[in-house]
Structure formats: C-alpha cells, structure tokens
Amino acid sequence: MSAARKAGAPATATTGRGAPVGATKPRVVSGRVVRTRGGRVSLRVQGRALAVTSVLVVALVVITGVTLTTGDFELSVGEVLRALAGNGSGGADFIVNTLRMPRLVTALCVGAALAVSGAVLQSLTRNALGSPDIIGFTNGSATGALVVIVVFHGSMTQIAVGALIGGLATAVVVYLLVFGGGMQGFRLVVMGIGVSALLLAVNSYLITRASWQEALEAQAWLIGSLGNRGWDHAIAIGVAVAVLLPLAFGLAGRLSMVEMGDDTATALGVDVARSRVALLFVSVALAAFGTAVTGPIWFIALAAPQVARKLIRSPGPGLVPAALMGAVMLAGSDLAVQRVFSPALLPVGTATGTIGGLYLIWLLVTESRKSRV
C-alpha cells in the first residue's frame, strides 16, 4: 500500500538538493520520425523499442515451434507445417489442429489482452499497482462467472458471458466511486482494492452455497487454466483482441499525453475526460474477455507492461512491446507447466501466480526503498 501511496501522491516535499520528491521526470522524446510523402501520416520509431520488439517476436516464434513440435507425441517441423496446411496425416492433424494450436492461440491472445489492459491502467493511474487483477476487475469477472455456475448452472459459453458482464459491472462501480472525488490514480487504486476485497468475500460465499460438483467446477475455473481450450475459445478471444487492440493502439498517443497530467494534456488539445473513459473501457474489456476465456490468470497484467517498459526504456506506455511481452509470458508459462511438470496437469494460473507473487514482493520492496530516498 505504501508503494501505491507514494506513486500516486502529489509531490510537495523537496530533497536537500531542491528537487521535488517523487516528481515526474521530464519526458525526453527520442527516436526517428518516419513520414509519408504527403506528411499526413507520421510515426516515431525508437531503435531500442524496435530491437526489443524484434527479439520478442523471435521469442514468440521459438515458443510456438517448441509448443507445436514437442510433447507426448513429438512431431517434426515439416509434419506441423503439413498439418497446418491441411495435408498432414490424421494423427498429426489431430494433435496440431485440435489439441495444440487452439491452446497456443488462446494463450497468445489472452496474454496480449491482459498485458495491454495492465499497461493502459498503469498509465492512466500513473501507478505501478494499477492492474486489473489488483484493483478488482478480475475478481469482478470471477464473481460474474461464479453466479452463472452456482445460481444459473450455465454452460461454458454462459460462464464466459457472465465473467464479461461481471468485469464490466465492476469497472462501472469503481469508476462511479472514484468519479465523485476526482479521477486520481491513487484514489482509483485504493477504491479498486476495496471493491476487490468485497468481491473476494462474495466469491467465497458463493462457493460455500454451491454443491460439491459446482464448488469443484468453480474452484477449477478460479485457478485459471488453458487446458481443454478449443477453437471456440481461441476464436472468441481472437475476435475480441482483433477489435480492441487496434483501438488501444490508436489511443496510445492520447494515453501518453494523459499520463503527463490533466493540465498538460488539456493544453495539448486532448479531451481528458472522454479519452480516459474510452481508454478505461478498452482496458476493462480486454481484461474481461481474457478472464472470461481462461479464468483469472494473475499478474500477467501487472508484470508484463512493466518489464516491457523497462526493456525499451521508453517514457511512453509502449503498448505493442507490452502485448508481445504478455503473449511471451503466458505462452511460455503454459509451455513450462506442460513440459516440466508432465504428466501432472498443472494449471498455468499456478505458475503465473507463483512468479507474479515474487515479482510483486520485489516491486513493493523496490518502491519502499525509493520512498525512503
């Protein structure tokens, strides 16, 4: 909590050298601007960000290759390519197109969705803890899913719809609570943590009211897993990502300006209120769709954007590297739990929870040390 307070609190004290404590560092704009001939479209390209993005793409290709060719039934690269082209043997076609490919596509899309959701929220709140799984949106999705499981005894599709509605409803509640006192990052994080605690209690109550079978089903969903995910799940999250990620990338410029402060953004011609609502909706929708497909997978939204930002050393949110980092983290974690712990069927949520918990401890210790400087 101290990390949240320091990151979100206004800086008024000064150090012995006269520099304001916790003040936002001046943003240094770097990189080369590439323009079209008419000059109507321009793009600023940063060499380090481009290099990191290229490395992440290579990592994704490697993870994809290892995932599709290894396992209980190993396949050669040629067999995988022929199966993808529809010319493979019956066994290879079943292993690649029915078992491995839908799971991999789901992992890549969910990882990218969660990472961009976290990157947008962290920039909006200007707080490292501004993540959907910290401020309650993920627990809201879990509540919606549990209501469908326990109360309505719904199917997997209905559970996914319930999770989506739960996440969006939680975002509306948190936004209304925050909106009355001004949209401040620290206030949003604290309100979100409170709402998350309430929803966690509701989730526990729902499980106690369920039958043994429903409780087991609910508990399995709450861990977060990519097991038994087919093309229905992959297509659903794929369509959501195809619609929402371009929206997020298109709003990245406004996000960078809002991150510099409301006054600065307004002076630069940005409608801060509308931009913030649009970005918040995109962020919550990405997290809700991802959670609806796999269940709550913790800490990808928290860690991936921060790791990507540290690597590219960019003052902006860096949504594209964050998306790739999230995809690498989730697909890599799922590959690890499948291969390292085989034949045990370990959900990927346990791996991301363990690694993310260690990362959160490191983050809080680091922020605490910074606050004492």
Token look-up 């509605």 returns 165
Helix or strand (DSSP H, E) at 186: helix 185-208
CA distances from 120 to 4, 25, 141, 177, 325 (A): 17, 19, 18, 20, 14
Per-residue pLDDT for 247 more than 70? Answer: yes
Per-residue pLDDT for 173 more than 90? Answer: no
pLDDT of the residue at 265: 83
- Section 285-310 average pLDDT: 87
Confidence of residue 28 (pLDDT cuts 50, 70, 90): low
Query: Which phi and psi (to 5°) does residue 20 adopt?
Result: -65, 135
Report residue 67 CA to chain centroid gap: 22
Per-residue pLDDT for 116 more than 50? Answer: yes
- Section 170-191 average pLDDT: 76
Instruction: Decide: pTM greater than 0.85.
Output: no
Q: What is the pLDDT of residues 188-242, one digit of tens each?
A: 788 888 888 899 899 888 888 888 888 887 887 788 888 888 898 899 899 999 9
* Cβ atoms of residues 147 and 185 within 8 Å: no
Per-residue pLDDT for 332 more than 50? Answer: yes
pLDDT greater at residue 329 or residue 181: 329
Record the tokens describing residue 71, joined without a space: 């396992």
Q: Which positions ≥6 away from 119 have C-beta within 8 Å?
A: 304, 305, 308, 309, 317, 318, 319, 322
What is the overall mean pLDDT for the chain? 81
Residue type, 128: A
pLDDT of the residue at 348: 82
Percent of the chain with pLDDT over 90: 25
CA distances from 223 to 65, 218, 278, 315, 350 (A): 27, 9, 30, 34, 7
Per-residue pLDDT for 1 more than 60? Answer: no
Q: How far apart are CA 359 and CA 6, in angstroms?
A: 19
Confidence of residue 14 (pLDDT cuts 50, 70, 90): very low
Q: How far apart are CA 133 and CA 113, in angstroms?
A: 13
Q: How far apart are CA 235 and CA 28, in angstroms?
A: 40
CA distances from 119 to 3, 66, 325 (A): 17, 28, 11
Helix or strand (DSSP H, E) at 32: strand 32-35
CA distances from 88 to 99, 102, 156, 231, 276 (A): 15, 17, 31, 19, 49
Rama region for 160: left / alpha / beta (φ>0; ψ in -120 to 50; rest): alpha
Q: What is the pLDDT of residues 46-85, one digit of tens each?
A: 778 889 999 999 999 999 999 999 988 889 999 999 999 9
Least confident range of 11-25, 106-120, 291-305: 11-25
pLDDT of the residue at 95: 92
Confidence of residue 155 (pLDDT cuts 50, 70, 90): confident
Q: How far apart are CA 322 and CA 219, in angstroms?
A: 29
Would you tell me how many other CB atoms lie within 10 Å of the CB of residue 66? Answer: 14
Confidence of residue 29 (pLDDT cuts 50, 70, 90): low
Domains of the chain, each with CATH number or no CATH: 62-69+101-364 (1.10.3470.10)
Residue type, 342: S
pLDDT of the residue at 221: 78
Confidence of residue 338 (pLDDT cuts 50, 70, 90): confident
